[in-house]
Structure 1
Amino acid sequence: MREWWRDAVIYQIYPRSFQDEDGDGIGDLKGITRRLPHVADLGATAIWLSPIFTSPMDDMGYDVSDYTDVDPLFGTIEEFEELIARAHELGLKVIVDQVLSHTSDKHPWFEESRASRSNDKADWYVWADPNPDGSPPNNWASVFGGSAWEFEPRRKQYYLHNFLISQPDLNFHCKAVQDALLETMRFWLDRGLDGFRLDTVNYYFHDQKLRSNPPADGGGWEMATDVYGMQKHLYDKTRPENIAFLERLRKLTDEYDDIMMVGEVGEDGDRSVEVMAEYTRGEHRLHMCYSFAMLGPAFSAEHFRKVIEGFQSGAPDGHPKWSFSNHDVPRHVTRWNKHANDGDTLAKQAIAMLASFEGTIGIYQGEELGQTETELVYEELTDPPALRFWPEVKGRDGCRTPMVWEAEAPNAGFTDGKPWLPVKAPQAARSVDLQARQNDSVLQAYKETLAFRHATPCLTVGKSTFLKTEEPILAFRRTAGDDALTCVFNLSPDPVSMTISGGAEIVGPANASLSGTALELPANGHCYLSHTGELDLVPADAD
């Protein structure tokens, strides 16, 4: 029997911003439960919840202080169980963010560990002596800027933090740490959870010799905070010891029925595909991985083909998850707007393209509305990197502003109170209620495209083969048995005319026209061509 996750449409919910039911301006579990029919009606088959566990919220829940309780901001364990039950009634699986690489500095484990060098949890975190001059033990940098080491006077040692100072890294070389984390995951699996999204899955282990990282190839500053980007991260992440722990994770989830784990791989370029392949190889590691390869500014036929073919060749027995937006990057309609004349047309093309990719796909809340990045001023920010490095770094708040439900309601129906991030007019204008009444809206395009994907074996189980086309045309064939579907996308703001060989017809949602052998693709046009036998595409003016 084919596992549910292999062709899933996973809808990411950022709980703080989905729906607030108690009027405190922050989304909660009751709000999510209330709005689940929207997700099911859209065509999603699973939801991924960003962290809901107890936390001081220095990094909006990615700094966990209790792995086995729900933060009161969001509700209670009982309300979470009710959410799971309602999701299952609607045919939705539920996975949650599991942040294992680090905890909050308010976690009882760290409070005990930092107190002395001799307590029961003294080696549960990564501690190191200073150099003779008092400086940190090596050159490792934090993703959020500055050194990855912070001095603790009580132990007269440094502790490692790959992210915020208040997010100390756990020591995975300590088996007791691994055992404790596995038990926290079992706690939620016993309550009916369907799986986990593993945050920063390649950051679990560090080099025990604490060797300094070498300079990055070619150097270069990618952003104002990016001391991190000046290093080749050989020793502070993606260590070989990680594999054995992933196998322990898989052994745990295999005790339960139909559980899925998807890992976030924080690596750049071709290395991300290598790690995805390594972490999903065989039947004893992760079920899926995803990288940031499609979450950046690159938008070209060459880029998408290179990423997908790279995974096909580099991870032949692996399974990918593809997405264009999430809570960490600018929304793709804004990110790619220079490649389009119209944001809605780009949004419709994006879901048509994503839905045609082989593997599992992910949708971030609001992208089904063609939602754009929110422009914020400094006084409205909450994201630590933005607060520290503004204005060079805009941060992640712009993609985390509240979901918009009813255009005329206060705060677009998100809350009766003051929202934790503002709901601004450009975002409210894209509300669910307005788009539900428009036959040509982005929301309707998402519903039609996802329905077509679910009903079309070529798009769920079909294998992919790319056609030899020039920019800006991305084209590939999906085949399942005797059925073939060629997916064609014009990734430019200019119309393109193509000539096809062989008989074909346009099926499913499309922004293109076919007359005989003449295929017309308007700006950011797209279509699915149903055909038998081979089909080739050439520019209409080719000799």
Structure 2
Amino acid sequence: MREKRDSAATPWWRGAAIYQIYPRSFQDTNGDGIGDLRGITERLPYVADLGVDAIWISPFYTSPMRDFGYDVADYCDIDPIFGTLADFDALIGRAHELGLKVIVDQVYAHTSDLHPWFAASRAQREGPQADWYVWADPKPDGTPPNNWQSVFGGPAWTWDARRRQYYMHTFLKEQPQLNVHNPEVQDALLGVARFWLKRGVDGFRLDALNHSMHDLKLRNNPAAPDTGRIRTRPFDFQIKRYSQSHPGVIAFIERIRAVCDEYGAIHTVAEVGGDKAIAEMQAYTRGEYRLNSAYGFDLLYAPELTPEVMVDALARWSRGGGWPSWAFENHDAPRAVSRWCAPSDMAPFARMKMALLAALRGNIIVYQGEELGLEQDVIPFELLQDPEAIANWPLTLSRDGVRTPMPWRDQAQGGFTTGVPWLPFSSRNLARAAELQQDDETSQLAVTRQLLALRKTHPALRLGTLEKSAADGALLAFDRVARRSRIRCLFNLSPKPIALPADLAGNPILSINGATLTQMPGYGALYVAA
């Protein structure tokens, strides 16, 4: 029987703080320079001490690593560089001992070209799995069937001589697109979900979910208007009207939710990007039988953080309802302190930014190292690993700069590995190592712990509504409201001090960077209980 989302007991995930772990870069235990599952297990006490409710682990499945795990060759096994299924089971057990839920990535839009499903599909046009991927005949002149473009550059179609057809790939040509319109493909993917649910996972982050279905007529995408911004990829020249965001995704979502409900309070959160992201996120989470939450790229790629940007993002979610998830950085998006403030202001800005994240209605996602105030590392071209950055150098900001290993200690390998790390550390981030901040009550790590504790302690911050959001110059303000409490949250999003409204009154329960009821210093933040 399906379990309704809003039961008498508040589900664990509502208002949760989730810590994202990028396994290649978290902790290496065998000296090969690449993080592994045993390393995550070793570091779980540190994560639990932060005060988060759950961890989200990016892909660790068998993969040729052309896109570092998002090209899956076996959905139901662990890549040897990360360990074994026994290592995963040990990780789950330790996380649950520490009170942490475990969310894992599910990649349903595409596989690796080395997946057995694709090998069977490309072998012949007739057969049990022939229609499991998106195949199309060429035009009479031999060119691809339409104008769809790949995210990583060039047409979203690659010729395959075995079938004498083109196959679709939204990302790398080594990531052929699954035909999720096919009920058999859906059944197989839901079987994957059940495999991990039986092993004890508590939720799924669904990667690129709105890319999982395409227009069956293969109509051309229209051209996107020129906004004056530099476009580095052919993908940016189109409105993706037909290559993604098919309405049929909704029915598949309801099937995913039904499977998750078989296992109790499982959390589902979708990654949704594109021209209509907010509308799609709300559609994907609407009602009792779809996903619990979703997040997009509005703030992950925003070039600046202003009160107007935040008020607009908050208002758009509020208008359509639903339960949002918020992230300021992740494995695909640059470190926020490097995007949104001057280098000299990174420390006070990082404290204010974390206070803002902790005050938002919905779930919040903290990316590994964000609690240390890490900045974006600059990776020289010859050391780049990111295929998108290599293809679009130098105008596309490398994702490698946010994927560099966690600095646990202030030493050459950062306490991450005894070998050569797969990406280099910077001296600036080594100076922010967790060990250096561990006992410093003024550190970004200490501030993060304080903020997450406040979010758990105050129902208004974790579960309340968000009201009266307003932008006044550099000042962003909103209220978080629960039945018996109201907390006024104020943030100075500039480096210059500003005066607060004369009628502000109440009991300050949080002050960041010296904020008071009358004066807000540069990048100050204040929570006031009314």
TM-score (norm 1): 0.94
AA matched with 1:284 = Y
Shift of 1:387: 1.4
The question of whether the paired residues in 2 share the 8 Å contact of 1:222 and 1:229 is answered with no
AA matched with 2:64 = P
Q: Which residue of 1 aligns with 2:479?
A: 477
Is structure 2 residue 314 aligned with structure 1 residue 311?
no
1:220-231 equivalences in 2 (<5 Å): 222-224=230-232, 226-231=233-238
Q: Which residue of 2 aligns with 1:489?
A: 491
What is the distance in 1 between the residues matched to 2:13 and 2:298?
21
1:279 corresponds to which of 264, 277, 284: 284
Shift of 1:403: 0.2
Change (3 A) 1:513 1:121: closer
What is the distance in 2 between the residues matched to 1:37 and 1:7?
21
Partner SS, residue 507 of structure 2: strand
Q: Which residue of 2 aligns with 1:137?
A: 145
Shift of 1:221: 5.3
The question of whether the paired residues in 2 share the 8 Å contact of 1:200 and 1:265 is answered with yes
Is structure 2 residue 223 aligned with structure 1 residue 191?
no
Partner SS, residue 163 of structure 1: coil
The question of whether the paired residues in 1 share the 8 Å contact of 2:307 and 2:470 is answered with no
Deviates more, 1:370-379 or 1:11-20: 370-379
What is the distance in 2 between the residues matched to 1:472 and 1:503?
20
Q: Which residue of 2 aligns with 1:291?
A: 296
AA matched with 1:309 = A
2:248 corresponds to which of 241, 245, 251: 241
Q: Which residue of 2 aligns with 1:334?
A: 338
Deviates more, 1:52-61 or 1:499-508: 499-508
1:346-365 equivalences in 2 (<5 Å): 346-365=349-368
What is the distance in 2 between the residues matched to 1:113 and 1:141?
22
What is the distance in 2 between the residues matched to 1:27 and 1:143?
27
CA shift digits 1:302-338 (9 cap, x unpaired): 1101101110112x2x110001000001100111124
1:457-468 equivalences in 2 (<5 Å): 457-468=459-470
What is the distance in 2 between the residues matched to 1:39 and 1:467?
32
The question of whether the paired residues in 1 share the 8 Å contact of 2:304 and 2:339 is answered with no
AA matched with 2:331 = H
The question of whether the paired residues in 2 share the 8 Å contact of 1:341 and 1:523 is answered with no
The question of whether the paired residues in 1 share the 8 Å contact of 2:512 and 2:525 is answered with yes
Partner SS, residue 123 of structure 2: coil
Q: Which residue of 2 aligns with 1:537?
A: none
What is the distance in 1 between the residues matched to 2:115 and 2:410?
41
1:375 corresponds to which of 359, 378, 401: 378
What is the distance in 1 between the residues matched to 2:191 and 2:504?
58
Partner SS, residue 501 of structure 1: coil
Change (3 A) 1:475 1:221: closer
1:407 corresponds to which of 404, 407, 410: 410
Q: Which residue of 2 aligns with 1:499?
A: 501
The question of whether the paired residues in 2 share the 8 Å contact of 1:251 and 1:284 is answered with yes
Shift of 1:153: 0.8
Deviates more, 1:457-466 or 1:187-196: 457-466
Is structure 2 residue 404 aligned with structure 1 residue 398?
no
Runs of 4+ in structure 1 off by over 6 angstroms are none
The question of whether the paired residues in 2 share the 8 Å contact of 1:223 and 1:393 is answered with no
Any unmatched runs of 5+ in structure 1?
532-543
What is the distance in 2 between the residues matched to 1:219 and 1:154?
42
What is the distance in 1 between the residues matched to 2:119 and 2:318?
45
What is the distance in 1 between the residues matched to 2:487 and 2:190?
43
AA matched with 1:313 = R
CA shift digits 1:151-203 (9 cap, x unpaired): 00111100000000000000012111111111011001001010100000101
1:9-20 equivalences in 2 (<5 Å): 9-20=17-28
1:28 corresponds to which of 30, 33, 36: 36
The question of whether the paired residues in 1 share the 8 Å contact of 2:311 and 2:471 is answered with no
Deviates more, 1:112-121 or 1:49-58: 112-121
What is the distance in 2 between the residues matched to 1:71 and 1:487?
44
Partner SS, residue 112 of structure 1: helix
AA matched with 1:150 = T
The question of whether the paired residues in 1 share the 8 Å contact of 2:20 and 2:365 is answered with yes
What is the distance in 2 between the residues matched to 1:469 and 1:201?
33
Q: Which residue of 1 aligns with 2:6?
A: none
1:111-122 equivalences in 2 (<5 Å): 111-122=119-130
AA matched with 2:482 = A
What is the distance in 1 between the residues matched to 2:229 and 2:362?
33
2:89 corresponds to which of 75, 81, 88: 81
Shift of 1:89: 0.5
What is the distance in 2 between the residues matched to 1:513 and 1:211?
55
Bigger RCO of structures 1 and 2 (CA < 8 A, at least 6 apart): 2
CA shift digits 1:48-77 (9 cap, x unpaired): 000010000000000000000000000000
Partner SS, residue 62 of structure 1: coil
What is the distance in 1 between the residues matched to 2:484 and 2:82?
49
The question of whether the paired residues in 2 share the 8 Å contact of 1:12 and 1:326 is answered with yes
Shift of 1:499: 2.5
Is structure 2 residue 162 aligned with structure 1 residue 154?
yes
Q: Which residue of 2 aligns with 1:91?
A: 99
Change (3 A) 1:153 1:371: same
Q: Which residue of 2 aligns with 1:252?
A: 259
The question of whether the paired residues in 2 share the 8 Å contact of 1:65 and 1:105 is answered with yes
AA matched with 1:528 = Y
Shift of 1:465: 0.9
Q: Which residue of 2 aligns with 1:322?
A: 326
Q: Which residue of 2 aligns with 1:536?
A: none
What is the distance in 1 between the residues matched to 2:60 and 2:145?
34
Any unmatched runs of 5+ in structure 2?
1-8
Q: What is the aligned length?
A: 521
TM-score (norm 2): 0.96
What is the distance in 2 between the residues matched to 1:334 and 1:510?
20
What is the distance in 2 between the residues matched to 1:41 and 1:28?
21
Is structure 2 residue 390 aligned with structure 1 residue 387?
yes
AA matched with 2:390 = L
Change (3 A) 1:509 1:232: same
Is structure 2 residue 253 aligned with structure 1 residue 262?
no
Q: Which residue of 2 aligns with 1:164?
A: 172
Partner SS, residue 420 of structure 1: coil
